[in-house]
Amino acid sequence: MNSSFLKLINHINRRIILTEDEQQAIIPHLNLRSYLKGQYIVQEGDVSRNETFIVSGKVRSFYLDDKGNEHIVAFGIEDWWINDICSYTTQTPAEFNIQCLEPTEVIQISRDKMEELFILAPKLERYFRLIIQKAYANMSKRIVNNHAQSAKERYLSFIGTYPDIANRVPQYMIASYLGITKEFLSSLRKQIHSDAKS
């Protein structure tokens, strides 16, 4: 089995167990694709037609406000799914851009192929339910934290929860994700560093 497909199969098997026959039946429905740094997997205004699993690389999901300012709503790295789920589910124009921050390899499953997979391996519906539930729980927690926590607490929570991402993306993108300016984040980092030394 292709090593990239094996990564996805392993990811699935950590949540449900696929038989060997089910694993082999899934493979023809998967589309392996490579993107360059800066390329878009989904672009605002287009309709998202694929669920996307990141094999290698990293991406960001963001939108532009009326003034053209970017607001990052999510990052994605290896072993994560990423999508504009609203666009994919309703087949309406996407509100978010999903852009590669480095050369990125993904596995995509189109909506039509997904329905076929659910027939071939019904337990996949449980797998995707678990994935969506986890994403929803994380989103809900982030909304609460944005209201209940200070910027410093949100930053410490971010680097504690996602150390791999914190070390791999520019600080100005982390600031955008946290809803603060890059200057304020720089000041926060200096304060945290100073507190750690004292």
pLDDT in tens, 38-89: 999 999 999 999 999 999 999 999 999 999 999 999 999 999 999 999 999 9
Mean pLDDT (whole number) for 135-162: 91
How high does pLDDT run on average in the chain? Answer: 94
Q: Which SS3 state, helix, strand or coil, does residue 110 take?
A: strand
Give 198's pLDDT tier (boundaries 50, 70, 90). Answer: low
Contact of 126 with 16, CB cutoff 8 Å: yes
CA distance 162 to 72: 15
Mean pLDDT (whole number) for 85-106: 96
Mean pLDDT (whole number) for 131-140: 91
Mean pLDDT (whole number) for 126-155: 91
pLDDT in tens, 3-50: 999 999 999 999 999 999 999 999 999 999 999 999 999 999 999 999
Query: Is 147 a residue whose pLDDT tops 90?
Result: no
Q: Which SS3 state, helix, strand or coil, does residue 45 take?
A: coil
pLDDT at residue number 192: 87
Query: Is 195 a residue whose pLDDT tops 90?
Result: no
Which residue type, as a one-letter code, is found at position 119? I
Buried b (16+ CB within 10 A) or exposed e, 82-101: bbbbebbeeeeebebbbbbb
DSSP 47: B
Which domains does the chain carry? 3-122 (2.60.120.10)
The two tokens of residue 95 are 């509100």
Cα dihedral 152/154/156/162 (nearest 10): -150
pLDDT at residue number 146: 86
Give 193's pLDDT tier (boundaries 50, 70, 90). Answer: confident
pLDDT at residue number 43: 97
pLDDT at residue number 165: 92
CA distance 83 to 80: 10
Burial bucket for residue 126 (CB in 10 Å: 0-12, 13-18, 19+):
exposed
Contact of 135 with 75, CB cutoff 8 Å: no
Q: Is the pTM of this model over 0.75?
A: yes
Distance set, CA 107 to CA 27, 41, 51, 120 (Å): 10, 11, 8, 18
DSSP 136: H
pLDDT at residue number 196: 74
**% of the chain residues with pLDDT over 90:** 86
**CA neighbor of 177 nearest in space, from 149, 155, 147, 196:** 155
**CA neighbor of 117 nearest in space, from 22, 11, 33, 19:** 22
Query: Is 161 a residue whose pLDDT tops 80?
Result: yes
